[in-house]
Amino acid sequence: MKPTVAHLLLLLSTIAAAQSVTVQKSAPADQDLTAEQKERVVKLANLQKNFGTKMNSPGVGLSLKEIDRTPTTDRTLVRYALYAKGLSTDLTYTLFKVQISGKILKQLDGVTLDSKGRAISASKSPIDLLFFAGKAEPIRLSLASNDDSHLKGFVSVIPFPNSATDKGCRLESVLGTPKGEVTYVQGSGFEPNEELTVDGESYGEKNHGVAKAEADGSYFAAAMPNVLGKTSGTTTWSVRGKNCNPTLTFTWGTYRLE
């Protein structure tokens, strides 16, 4: 039985509802969300936070290897090869793309794997995956087996990252909506379970908070940087730990392909 969007959606919905995340707004009084709106923001944030290895079937792993970049008139085309481990070369698979909206799009059917685990077509030709993307826009993919086991692997890549580092700690912004009205801030390299001081600023409006690093030293938050009366802008986001204080800058309210 081939995997369907419904099969994948069920798994993604379970992951999205698994745990809560911090939603930090630049001006809380200006961005009062309904319960339904907040629930959706949290679900999509949880999906981004957990997307990848945590969602794989046991023993399964996916990776994307960049092949090249081709500049065009006003954007850059990035080409990737998809590799899998822990999946049989005797099965066929379906490739899905998970949009930042949570929508699932079927990309390719009849995918198989060569002896090195690279995704190939039914004609045994290597599959090249081609993408355009904006700054900090994630490309999120899933490969699912076309048999009753429904083995799944997940992988994401950000072709044009926006990041900042300080003393071994790293922050990265990830688009949560096309124009960044919701932007995820992902961090790594902090001390396990340490208390973190978080400061955000947009157009002089400041937001101060306290967070806690995960057991693996990672950090995650969903930022809503919009400012009343402004349609676009730049936000500065700082996360201070015991040994580092990376400060990240990201834009919102506009979108263009890199």
CATH code given to domain 53-157: 2.60.40
What is the predicted pLDDT for the residue at 38?
Answer: 84
Would you give per-residue pLDDT tens digits along the chain (258 residues)? 555 555 555 555 545 555 556 666 555 444 567 888 888 888 999 999 999 999 999 999 999 999 999 999 999 999 999 999 999 999 999 999 999 999 999 999 999 999 999 999 989 999 999 999 999 999 999 999 999 888 999 999 999 999 999 999 999 999 999 999 999 999 999 999 999 999 999 998 888 999 999 999 999 999 988 888 889 999 999 999 999 999 999 999 999 999
The alpha-helical segments, DSSP class H, found in the chain are 5-16, 35-50
Q: Where in the chain is the domain with CATH 2.60.40?
A: 22-50+161-252, 53-157
What is the predicted pLDDT for the residue at 29?
Answer: 43
Cα separation of 207 and 89, whole Å? 51
What 8-state DSSP symbol labels residue 257?
B
Q: For residue 46, which amino acid is it?
A: N
CB 66 within 8 A of CB 131: no
Please tell me whether the overall predicted TM-score, pTM, comes out greater than 0.85 for this model.
yes
Q: Which fold has domain 22-50+161-252?
A: Immunoglobulin-like (2.60.40)
List Cβ neighbours of 82 (8 Å cut-off, separation of 6 or more): 62, 63, 64, 95, 118, 119, 127, 129, 141, 143, 155
Q: How far is CA 178 from the centre of its chain?
A: 13
